[in-house]
Amino acid sequence: MNYTLHQLQIFERVAHYQSITKASEELHLTQPAVSIQLKNFQNQFPIPLFEVVGRRLYISDFGKEIAQAAEDVLNAADTINYKTRAIGGQLAGRLRVAVVSTGKYVMPYFLSGFMKNNPGVDLRMDVTNKTVVVENLEQNLVDFALVSVLPDHLKLERIELMPNILQLVANQRYFEKIKLGGRAKSDAVPLIFREKGSATRAAMENYIKEYDLNVQKRIELTSNEAVKQAVIAGLGCSIMPLIGLRNELQNGDLKIFPQKKLPITTTWNLVWLKSKKLSPVANELLEYLEIEKRNIITENFEWYSTFQIK
C-alpha cells in the first residue's frame, strides 16, 4: 500500500460528511479532484470502503474502521507539527468550532485576526443546523460552538459576541401584498421556514404561536441561503436574521416588513462545556476576543447595529 496523508485526509472528510460535495468544500478542492483521490485510495483495499446507492454515498463498516484509523494518523501527524512549531515559540494546535448556519456570517470575522496572528493554529469550522451543533458540543467533538439560543440541558460557559436580530422580510414587489396571519387567502403569501432543528425556525414558530397568527401557506427549505433566494424571487416571505441580508437590504432586493412585536432579538454566544479543559489555543482565542470584540463589531458590523427600517 502506498496511500498518502492527503488521501487519508480526503477519505476521512468524505466519511465524516458522507458527501464528496461537502468534503470538497471544506478542503477547498474540486469535486473531480476529491473523486479521483478517493478512487485511488479505494484501489489499495480489497474490500469496498463505500458504496453509492442512487445519488447517496454510504460508508461500509470496513470503511468506518479505516476512517477512524485515518483520523488517528492525521491527529498524530498534526501533533508532530504542533510540537515542532511550539519549540520555535509559536502558538500551535487545532481549533474546532461548530457554527449554526446563519453564524457563518458572524464567526469568520471574530476568527480572522486571531488566525492571522497565529499561523501555527489550524482551524476546523463546521457549519450546520442547531441540532447538530449542540450534539457536537455535547459529545465534546469541538472546542466551541456559536449559537443564538442556548441549549438549556447543558452546563456551559459563554462569551457574548453581538446581537442577532430577526425581522420579517419580503421581495420589494410583493411588499404591499403581505399580511402575515391574514384571514382571507388572498391576503396572505407563503411563509418560508427553515428545516426542523434550525434555531431560526424555532424563533418563527414561537412567534406565530405566541401571537396566534393564521399562516395558511407554508414552504420549508433547508438552508438560510435557499430561504433568502426564495424570498428574493417572490416565492414568499420569511422571518430572517438580518446578519445575512446586508447586500439585499441595501440594494432593495429585500425590504423589512414592520410587524407587531418584531424584531426578535437574541444574542450570538460563543459557548463551551463548563467541564471542558480548554487547550492553550482555545484559551488564547478567548483572551483575544475579550480584547478585540468591540473593535471587530465596530469595524465589520456598524451597518447592522444602526440599520433603520425605511
Residues 6+ apart with CB under 8 A from 85: 92, 120
Last-in-domain residue among 59, 74, 89: 89
Residue 7 covered by a domain: yes
Q: What's 186's domain CATH number?
A: 3.40.190.10
Question: Mean pLDDT over residues 264-291, rounded?
Answer: 93
CA dist., res. 309 & res. 224, Å (int): 21
CA dist., res. 271 & res. 160, Å (int): 9
Given the DSSP bridges, would you call strands 156-171 and 254-256 parallel, antiparallel or unpaired? antiparallel
Is this structure's pTM higher than 0.75?
A: no
Question: Mean pLDDT over residues 218-229, rounded?
Answer: 89
Which pLDDT band, with edges at 50, 70 and 90, does 129 fall under?
Answer: confident
* CA proximity to 238, closest of 251, 255, 260: 255
Residue 100 covered by a domain: no
3-state secondary structure of 83: helix
- pLDDT, tens digit (0-9, with 9 covering 90-100), for 153-173: 999 999 999 999 999 898 877
Which pLDDT band, with edges at 50, 70 and 90, does 261 fall under?
Answer: confident
- pLDDT, tens digit (0-9, with 9 covering 90-100), for 69-88: 998 898 888 777 767 766 66
Gyration radius (Cα) of the chain, Å: 22
Q: Which residue has the cell 474546532?
A: 96
Residue 111 covered by a domain: no
Question: Mean pLDDT over residues 264-292, rounded?
Answer: 93
Range of the domain at 48: 1-89
Residue 279 covered by a domain: no
Last-in-domain residue among 89, 104, 126: 89
In a shared domain, residues 258 and 171? yes
> How many domains is the chain built from?
2
Q: Is the pLDDT of residue 233 over 60?
A: yes
Residue 192 near residue 231 (C-beta atoms within 8 A): yes
Residue 78 covered by a domain: yes
* CA proximity to 11, closest of 28, 32, 35, 29: 35
Residue 174 covered by a domain: yes
CA dist., res. 303 & res. 117, Å (int): 26
CA dist., res. 125 & res. 116, Å (int): 16
Strands (E), 135-283: 144-147, 156-171, 191-193, 218-220, 238-241, 254-256, 264-273
Q: Within the chain, how many helices (H) and strands (E) appear?
A: 11, 11
Where b means 16+ CB within 10 Å and e means fewer, 275-291 reads eeeeeebbebbbebbee
Which pLDDT band, with edges at 50, 70 and 90, does 293 fall under?
Answer: very high
In a shared domain, residues 169 and 261? yes
Q: Is the pLDDT of residue 114 over 90?
A: yes
Q: Is the pLDDT of residue 308 over 60?
A: no
CA dist., res. 234 & res. 192, Å (int): 11
Q: Is the pLDDT of residue 107 over 80?
A: yes
Residue 282 covered by a domain: no
Q: What's 52's domain CATH number?
A: 1.10.10.10
> CA dist 292 to 22, 104, 111, 144, Å?
32, 19, 10, 18
Residue 298 covered by a domain: no
What are 147's strand-pairing partners? 269
